[in-house]
Amino acid sequence: MIMLSSLLMLTTSIYLIYPPSLGNDTWRDLIYAYEITVSGRVRYTYHSPYPISFLSLIYSLISIVSGIELRWTTALYGFLYQFCLLISVFMLTRRLFHNDKAALLSTLIISISPNLMLWVYGPIPQIHALLLLTLLLLINVTTTNVDGVYMITTIFLLIAQIITHVVVALQTLTVFVGLYLLSKMLNYKYEEQGTFRTMLLCFLVSFTYWLMMYIIEYLLYGPIRNIYTLLVELFTEKAVSKAYSTSPATPPYVLFLVYSYFYIIPILTFVTWLTYDSREKTDGSGGKTTVYIETFFITSISFTSLGFLGNLFMPHLYLDRYLGIGAYILMGILSGYGLLKLSCKGKLGISLTVVVLVLIIASATVSGVFSPDYRPLGTTYASYSVSGPTNHNEYEIALTISEKLENGTLWVDYRYGQQLIFLAIQDPQSGIRKYEHLYRGIKVSGLEIMCIGSYGWKISSEDVKRFMSRQNSILIFREHAFEELLLSSEREKIKNYLHENTNIVFSTDKVKIFISL
């Protein structure tokens, strides 16, 4: 509890420094939440991974019930996510291994995971779905007999997960298929097979319904969307290649510290898989734990491997995030027991345990988990997600900008752009302005807000010239956000072009606004 309280206090202090929300996807979900709050209905969104934004509905309900400002609901949800994830991991690990020390170590390891705690500050639908996965696992571990409460709870959580994020729902299906098959192979008790079988049945019925909806959507909209995506990729391929070839090198010691977490946890998981002996448990629970260890080990290693391969050959799919985060939750649950077994191997084991803990903590610190404006990795997805958060002064500037802009094209970094979009759609009279989605932005009346420089796309001087060649073009230049977005070899050329070919209408140490001549 002391560790959990310390983490919550640290999260609170970060929210006091940076106003929510810190994530790009979170601003998009807040826009949907604002529409729900104003219109009183949940609309079908344009975002195909989760066409019904369940997380936006939660934000809207929190705001209505509590009366707090809508954007602060992400901060409250971040606290709840962190609290529920760590509590469920602790209870699940303790129930599996019947060992409080192993449960505490697993909770500690997950609490400082770079790819889990990052989303406390900018919640996304995927982490909501992963939280539901841990709750489903906890329910399944603690249940031996199927009853009405179990059925209702399971169906509710499964439907909520499928609506929230389909990829995580597929991960959940994979895990429970593995549990069922391994329980059969290891001749586990029939009663336990019954809970696995019921879970699978509930999942398949729920998932089949939503799969049919996706098939219908694909038949109606899929071909057009695929052609459009192909054209976009053709036009942006060179820019992406240039971005990676000119990005500054990261010091080797930083890479070692950041990635040490991602190598240590699979090793500890392997130690657990190798050393656990079901015969140690005299109460008959060892067989059940073995099933979970085998399943978690096989599925997590498979997800991680697919994530790394996807990152190498299909980086635009972000499989390292979509599959990797869920895999590290499963490995984190097992790794505490592995670390505990390691510490029991004499002085050498204790020394290795201390080294492992130091590396894990150093990895979390260096990777920027608790410092959202720290960017050690340059072009990786994780570092992009925490780069350039807005401070309170920039938020006040955004309020002023949103009131004065009526027409033209506004070019801005993704993080600040999503915040401006959230403000631009709000109308004092009607509640919400009509808008249409554009690629990387929206159009509200005569104003276009375009978000630039993300997903590996570095901005060159030619890009800036193209942006500002439009009539009534406006560029909001945030120094600390554009550090990672501009090609390092052309930064001076870009700044010289802006000063020579545009008018500066607003200037502070951190934010400058340029208007085309």
Residue 371: what are its φ and ψ, rounded to 5°? -140, 85
Answer yes or no: are the C-beta atoms of 192 and 144 closer than 8 Å: yes
Contacts of 32 (CB under 8 A, 6+ apart): 43, 45, 53, 56
Give the Cα separation of 9 and 374 in Å (integer): 20
pLDDT of residue 243: 37
Give the Cα separation of 238 and 416 in Å (integer): 25
Per residue in 461-490, pLDDT tens? 888 888 888 888 899 988 878 877 787 778
Contacts of 383 (CB under 8 A, 6+ apart): 368, 375, 376, 377, 484
Answer yes or no: are the C-beta atoms of 62 and 30 closer than 8 Å: no
With a cut of 50, list the residues of the chain below it in pLDDT.
190-191, 237-249, 377-386
pLDDT of residue 93: 94
CA-wise closest residue to 293 among 273, 271, 274, 277: 273
Task: Tell me the pTM.
Answer: 0.79
- Secondary structure (DSSP) of 62-114: HHHHH---GGGHHHHHHHHHHHHHHHHHHHHHHHHH--HHHHHHHHHHHHT-H
> How far apart, in Å, are the Cα atoms of 372 and each of 290, 385, 490?
39, 9, 26
- Secondary structure (DSSP) of 345-391: SHHHHHHHHHHHHHHHHHHHHHTTTT-TT---STTSHHHHHTSS---
- Give the distance, in angstroms, between the CA of residue 207 and the centroid of all CA atoms in the same chain: 22
Give the Cα separation of 132 and 245 in Å (integer): 39
pLDDT of residue 271: 87
pLDDT of residue 383: 39
Contacts of 362 (CB under 8 A, 6+ apart): 257, 260
Token representation of residue 446: 């005569």
Per residue in 391-407, pLDDT tens? 888 888 888 888 887 78
> How far apart, in Å, are the Cα atoms of 181 and each of 95, 292, 505?
21, 11, 66
pLDDT of residue 480: 78
pLDDT of residue 216: 59
pLDDT of residue 44: 59
pLDDT of residue 356: 87
Per residue in 269-310, pLDDT tens? 888 888 887 666 555 556 788 889 989 999 998 898 888 777
